[in-house]
Amino acid sequence: MTAPTATAHHHEERLWWHFFTFSTDHKVIGIQYLVTSFLFYFIGGSLAGVIRTELATPASDVVSPELYNQLFTVHATVMIFLWIVPAGAAFGNYLIPLMIGAKDMAFPVLNAIAFWLIPPGGILLMSSFLVGAPQAGWTSYPPLSLLTGKPGEFIWILSLLMLGTSSILGAINFMVTIWKMRIPRMDIHSMPLFCWAMIATSALILLSTPVLAGALILLAFDLMAGTSFFNPAGGGDPIVYQHMFWFYSHPAVYIMILPFFGALSEILPVHARKPIFGYRAIAYSSLIISFLGLIVWAHHMFTSGVPGWLRMFFMITTMIIAVPTGIKIFGWLGTLWGGKISFTTPMLFGMGLISAFLIGGLTGVMVASVPFDIHVHDTYFIVAHLHYVLFGGSVLGIFAATYHWFPKMTGRMYNEFWGRVHFALTFIGLNLTFMPMHELGLLGMNRRVAMYDPQFQNLNLLCSFGTLLLAISTFPFVINMVWSWLKGPQAANNPWGGLTLEWQTSSPPSIENFDELPVMTSGPYDYGLGGKKADFSFLKPKQRVMAASAEK
Amino acid sequence: MTLKFASTAIFYSYPFYSLISNLLLKQTLNPVNIPSNILTLVAGILLTAVSLWYGQNHGLLPVQASEQAAQVDGLFNMMMTIATGLFIIVQGCLIFVAIKYRRRAGDNSDGSPNNGNIPLEIFWTAIPAAIVLMISIYSFEVYTQMGGLDPMASMGHKTPSQVLAQGGESTGMNMEGMVAMDAQRGSIALGLGATPANENKPPAVLIKVLGLQYAWTFTYPETGIVSGELHLPIGEDAQLDIAAQDVLHAFWLPEFRIKQDAIPGRETELRFTPNRLGEYPVICAELCGAYHGVMVTKLYVETPEQYQSWIEAQQVAQAAEPRTPQQVAVDVSKLSSNQYLQPYAQELGITPEMLQHMDHHQHHDQ
Ligand SMILES: [Cu+2]
Ligand SMILES: [Cu+2]
């Protein structure tokens, strides 16, 4: 490994204000995405805090029922379109060129445009609170969405169209970059699994997002021009909207989870010092999930206007997705098996992901079963299921990835102790918040309600208490990140001893990523194979720092 | 339910496949010594026992008030059994590796170079595939038994009684603004139809259900009764034809494990036979506006005598003053929150004073 010489890029250093400009550097854009999406995570989380405060008691006594509906509508929209989806794009942007040894993304300007659509889209959405935010749920089913507050609903549509466009532009870039810009020696079977995951994600975005855009534009016509595409009062069909909406929004689940499955496949081998178990199975299972993800959408409509035979068809396709998902989970367990596991914060979040996502996966098979889903559809059982997938899966994945690549992105080391505290609080908070919701739904509590049967109060209190823990858990995280970024000890170029290419350059990487074209001296996961081993300064924070100063 | 037994039996060759998998692991994954096969077998049997026990005793579901509820619960219990087994295996593995394969202080070496094992990978692809196949077949069977694939329901041919009922055009269907309201428009009716035993038979009781913001109303076409509560005689095959006046609603009976959206412009149906006397909540499960949470009413399952006397009393009361569903529906948005929690309160024996107390700090009531 060649140590970067200080003089080589001294005059073109990244300055703080570059992060507020229309930069075309994928690393700047990646961090812009990540910080922006974290800001929206805190907004969406605050909304959830108000929601859980309201639900601590059966009566509607904190906010008005109208405002309550606005809160959960915007909460879901923010968490999906402004938090998890852009966070996936953040890591895609930051990591893909580094992992494949490229200098930048294929279309840097398009990349910057994609990012700069997000802040205005997000601000627009939040501004809807000034005129009455949308209150028909993030699914925005007509006719309700046509009848509750036109301005808020219209703003919601516009905002989603902007965010959807951003997502499509990003996906084109990921696809082309991975396909065309790998260093010559890297064939598709020696590229990091994160790249495979981003190919699968991008394919889904490109195939499904235009359908959502179509549905939203037709909905906007119904809303503003009085057409009747979906409005039954004029002969329209609200079920058609549901089909179009879910044709995007089921794949959206995989758009939100696959990037972090990919990240997990990077993180586990490094911190367990073990090759990934079943590289090809994990790589191709992403593609299979993404293909199957396109033909399961009507499982969200088992109690809606879907005939029996179609319900059976979508039940079977949905069930099959459990197979490639299982391959991943078992592959990760196989990776840990026989390793030398260091309980670093990324590893803790990674193992937490497997544990929590498993629950979402198991309930996912249950709700795929039509007779059972008829009972639990639109209840708190579904709320529990989806949060185990999106919080237990995606959000824990985002945290794992953030900690894992923090030294690379900032050139500094985070504080391990507070990272572990953050993990413990998050993991306990997540289970306290969402586990009791399974029981609530089974017993008869429907979702999206501001007032509920008093017999459910105790379980709801437990959920609200869990949410409080989750709120508290963000403090050690934010303080750790901000303080470490500014004042943390300097990180080594390769603090974890990783074998993928991003660890072969300086931390943070120079503007052109690599001072000389990187060479693949081993496969991405050749741990324990006696090939080239990276340095072992990953062992103790002290040594990480020492290794860093040795490199200077 | 031979199918149920078969599927449970297949799954619970568990101890044996955990034995096989452990043998595989021993050969391929694990250079270190592993527990003996006997120990594995014991662990497998224990795992099976715990899963089977929890699958039957989770206590997570409300009482069963129809045959369909029992079928759905049987399916859920089977899935819960399997889920419990898989949960214990995966979480157990995580804990096991965390302890056994933790990096010891001072150990700077890499772990084992094992990067895959084709037979093992085939094995853990095949097992989940078999499990979901089994669950699919079982679910299909239950769905058929529930009447989900009744050709009359799913092909949209109306039975004579239904056509008759519509000829009599109930008050429930006569509202303005529902230009698109035409039950025959779609070529397929949606929801749960007759169970295989009742196929081609008209239902014993037919009721028109109308959902509107924020109430359910029930019209009995034979007698012209319009009510805000649903009364059904026990043991009789009842069919609900469900419509919506304004937005989507969903008609949910948790104790019967059945639910169907009410869709403006389409008619949907739920057909079932109550088999337990009592009072059950009727809940709207599809977001329908600000007061969605209080779109709740009651279903009373009564003896034939009680049912008959209710019908007669209603006929007398409504003969003088016929009602429309819109008149029956209470506008909950005008109620204070202790009033709209009322339907729950009765069921729980909570007095209005207690609710008053609960609402003590409430300010937003207009
Ligand atoms: Cu879905
Ligand atoms: Cu409702």
Same domain for B8 and B90?
yes
Q: How far apart are CA A351 and CA A285, in angstroms?
A: 20
Handedness of CA B131, B135, B140, B142 (dihedral sign): positive
3-state secondary structure (DSSP) of residue B311: helix
What are the structure tokens assigned to B283, written together?
């809940």
Q: Give the CA diameter of chain A.
A: 74
B94 and B31 within one domain: yes
Surrounding ion ligand 1 within 5 Å at CB are: A 250
**Alpha helices (H) in chain B, listed in sequence order:** 2-11, 14-28, 37-57, 67-100, 118-145, 151-155, 160-167, 304-320, 325-328, 337-340, 342-348, 352-358
Q: How many Å apart are CA A204 and CA A174, to the nearest integer?
A: 12
Put simply, the answer to whether B264 touches A143 (Cβ < 8 Å) is yes
**Phi, psi of A301, rounded to the nearest 5 degrees:** -130, 25
**What spacing in Å lies between the alpha carbon of B157 and ligand 2's midpoint?**
29
Work out the burial of residue A276: count CB atoms within 10 Å of its CB; fewer than 13 is exposed, 13-18 middle, 19 or more buried: buried
**Structural domains of chain B, count:** 2
Residue A182 CB contacts under 8 Å (≥ 6 apart), including other chains: A100, A101, A102, A191
Contacting residues of B for A68, CB less than 8 Å apart:
290
**pLDDT at position B347:** 43
**Burial track A243-263 (b if 16+ CB lie within 10 A, e otherwise):** bbbbbbbbbbbbbbbbbbbbb
Q: What is the mean pLDDT of residues B209-223?
A: 92
Q: Which residue is it, tokens 């899963």?
A: B51
Window 44-63 of A: residues touching B by CB (8 A cutoff) are 57-61, 63
Sort A74 into a burial class: Cβ within 10 Å, 0-12 / 13-18 / 19+.
Answer: buried
The token duo for B286 is 């599809």
Query: CA of A111 to nearest chain B CA: how many angstroms apart?
Result: 36
Please check whether residues B198 and B230 belong to one and the same domain.
yes
Q: How far is the CA of B214 from the centre of ligand 2 (A)?
A: 7
Task: Note whether B335 and B186 are same-domain residues.
Answer: yes
A vs B, Cβ pairs < 8 A, gives 335
Contact B287 A438 (CB under 8 A): no
Q: Provide the pLDDT for residue B106.
A: 84
**For A379, which DSSP code?**
B
Sheet with B225-227, edge to edge strand ranges:
B190-192, B268-272, B238-244, B205-212, B215-220, B225-227
| Cβ-based burial of B100 (10 A; exposed 0-12, middle 13-18, buried ≥19) | middle
The answer as to whether B113 is a domain residue is: no
Please, are residues B132 and B174 in contact by the beta-carbon 8 Å criterion? no
Asked if the Cβ–Cβ distance from A319 to B98 is below 8 Å, we say no
**In terms of domains, do B231 and B131 share one?**
no
Banded model confidence at residue B337, pLDDT cuts 50, 70, 90: low
Contact flag B103-A442 (C-beta cutoff 8 Å): no
In a domain, B136, yes or no: yes
The one-letter amino acid code at B203 reads: P
Residue pair B232/B205 in contact by the 8 Å Cβ criterion: yes
Give residues with Cβ within 8 angstroms of A489, minimum separation 6: A412, A413, A541, A544, A545, A548
Q: Supply the pLDDT for residue B336.
A: 54
Distance CA A30, CA A405 (A): 12
pLDDT one-digit tens code per residue, A209-238: 999 999 999 999 999 999 999 999 888 999
Tokens of A406: 């923090």
What is the distance in angstroms between the Cα of A361 and the nearest Cα belonging to chain B? 10
- State the average pLDDT over residues B167-191: 41
Is B107 inside any structural domain? Answer: no
Q: Which residues of A361-371 are buried (b: 16+ CB within 10 A; e: fewer)?
A: bbbbbbbbbbb
CA A366 to CA A364: how far, in whole Å?
5
Cα(B313)–Cα(A201) distance, rounded to whole angstroms?
62
Q: Which of B22, B81, B109, B247 to mutate to test the interface with A (most CBs of A within 10 A)?
A: B247
Distances (CA, A) of B314 to A267, B229, B296, B298: 69, 11, 21, 16
Same domain, yes or no: B88 and B200: no
Of B245, B243, B240, which Cα lies nearest the Cα of B261?
Answer: B243
- Name the one residue in this structure whose structure tokens are 């649903």: B230
Does residue B176 carry a pLDDT above 50?
Answer: no
Instruction: Report CB contact under 8 Å: A64, B259.
Output: no
**Contact between chains at B258 and A374 (C-beta distance less than 8 A):** yes
Distance (Å) from the C-alpha of residue A510 to the closest C-alpha of chain B? 30
Mean pLDDT by 10 residues, chain A (552 residues): 41 73 92 97 97 94 93 97 97 96 94 96 96 94 92 96 96 96 90 96 96 96 93 91 96 96 97 94 95 94 90 95 96 95 96 97 96 97 97 97 96 96 97 97 95 94 96 97 95 92 91 86 83 44 45 42
Q: Does B178 have pLDDT greater than 80? A: no
**CB-neighbour burial class of residue B361 (10 A; exposed 0-12, middle 13-18, buried 19+):** exposed
Q: Are B286 and B263 in contact (CB under 8 A)?
A: no
pLDDT of amino acid A419: 97
* B362 — pLDDT class (breaks 50, 70, 90): very low
Residue B137 confidence class, pLDDT cut points 50, 70, 90: very high
The span from the CA of B4 to the CA of A284, in Å, is 34
B229 domain residue, yes or no: yes
Cβ-defined contact of A319 to B135 (cutoff 8 Å): yes
Complex ipTM value: 0.91
Of all residues in chain B, the percent with pLDDT exceeding 70 is 69
Choose the closest CB to B91 out of A136, A326, A355. A355
Q: Is residue B262 part of a domain?
A: yes
Task: Specify whether the CB–CB gap between A413 and A541 falls below 8 A.
Answer: yes
The torsion angle over the Cα atoms of residues A136, A137, A143 and A144, rounded to 10 degrees, is -30
Closest CB to B139 among A148, A315, A443: A315
Looking at all shown ligands, the one closest to residue B295's CA atom is 2
Taking an 8 Å cut-off on Cβ atoms, the answer to whether A144 and B362 are in contact is: no
Contact A239, B248 (CB under 8 A): no
Residue A132 contacts residue A153 (beta carbons within 8 Å):
no
Domains of chain A, each with CATH number or no CATH: 2-551 (1.20.210.10)
DSSP for A393-406 reads: IIIHHHHHHHHHHH
Q: Residue A457: exposed, middle, or buried by beta-carbon count in 10 A (0-12, 13-18, 19+)?
A: middle
Contact A230, A238 (CB under 8 A): yes
- Partner residue facing B248 (CB), from A141, A333, A454: A141
Answer yes or no: do B180 and A233 touch at CB < 8 A. Answer: yes
Q: Are residues B52 and B189 in the same domain?
A: no
Q: Are A65 and A450 in contact (CB under 8 A)?
A: yes
Answer whether A320 sits within 8 Å of B178, measured CB to CB. no
Give the ligand with the smallest distance to the CA of B261.
2
Residue B109 lies in a domain: no
Residues B263 and B343 in one domain: yes
- What's the pLDDT score for residue A357? 97
At B150 the pLDDT is 80
Q: State the average pLDDT for chain B.
A: 78
Q: Please give the residue of chain A at the shortest CA–CA distance from B107.
A: A340
How far CA A409 is from CA of A74, A194, A289, in Å, comes to 31, 17, 30
Q: What local confidence, expressed as pLDDT, does residue A18 receive?
A: 80
Residue B296's DSSP bridge partners are B283
**Is the residue at B356 inside a domain?**
yes
Q: What is the CATH number of the domain that holds B191?
A: 2.60.40.420
The total of other beta-carbon atoms located within 10 Å of residue B48's CB is 18
Whether B291 sits inside 8 A of A65 (CB atoms) is yes
- Residue A298 CA to residue A300 CA, distance in Å, equals 5
Residues in chain A with CB shorter than 8 Å from the CB of B246 are 143, 147
Q: Which of A280, A351, A375 sits opposite B98 (nearest CB)?
A: A351
Q: What is the largest CA-CA distance in chain B?
A: 92
- Based on the fold, state whether residues B178 and B142 are members of the same structural domain: no
Chain-centroid distance, C-alpha A103: 25
Q: Whole-model pTM?
A: 0.88
Cβ(B284)–Cβ(B296) below 8 Å: yes
CA of A456 to the centre of ligand 2 (A): 18
The total of other beta-carbon atoms located within 10 Å of residue B304's CB is: 11
Nearest CA in chain B to A309: B149
Task: Say whether A444 and B254 touch across the interface (CB within 8 A).
Answer: yes
**Closest by CA position to A449, among listed B324, B285, B255:** B285
Do B75 and B224 lie in one domain? The reply is no
The confidence score (pLDDT) of residue B50 equals: 93
% of chain B at pLDDT higher than 90: 52
Contact across the interface for A305 and B266, Cβ inside 8 Å: yes
Q: Which domain holds residue B61?
A: 2-99+119-146
In the numeric block, the tokens 């016509």 are attached to A221
Half-sphere exposure in the Cβ direction for B115 (13 Å, CA): 17
Q: Tell me how close the Cα of B148 comes to any Cα of chain A, in angstroms.
A: 6
Please identify among residues 128-187 of chain A the ones whose CB lies closer than 8 Å to any CB of chain B. Answer: 135-137, 141, 143-144, 147-148
Higher pLDDT, B353 or B85: B85
- CA proximity to B10, closest of B81, B97, B104: B81
Contact A58 B358 (CB under 8 A): yes
Q: Are residues B175 and B258 in the same domain?
A: yes
A533 and B110 in contact (C-beta within 8 Å)?
yes
What is the predicted pLDDT for the residue at B321?
Answer: 76
Q: Evaluate whether residue B14 is within a structural domain.
A: yes
Residues B135 and B173 in one domain: no
Measured CA to CA, the distance from residue B272 to residue B234 in angstroms comes to: 11
Residue A240 near residue A229, CB atoms below 8 Å: yes
Q: Ligand 2 center to residue B296 CA distance, Å? A: 9
Pick from B100, B124, B24: which is nearest to A278 by CA? B124
Distance (Å, whole) CA B218 – CA B314: 12
Rounded to 5°, angle at Cα B286 from B222 and A385: 135
- The confidence score (pLDDT) of residue A20 equals 84
Which residues in chain A are contacts of B60 at CB distance < 8 A? 438-439, 442-443
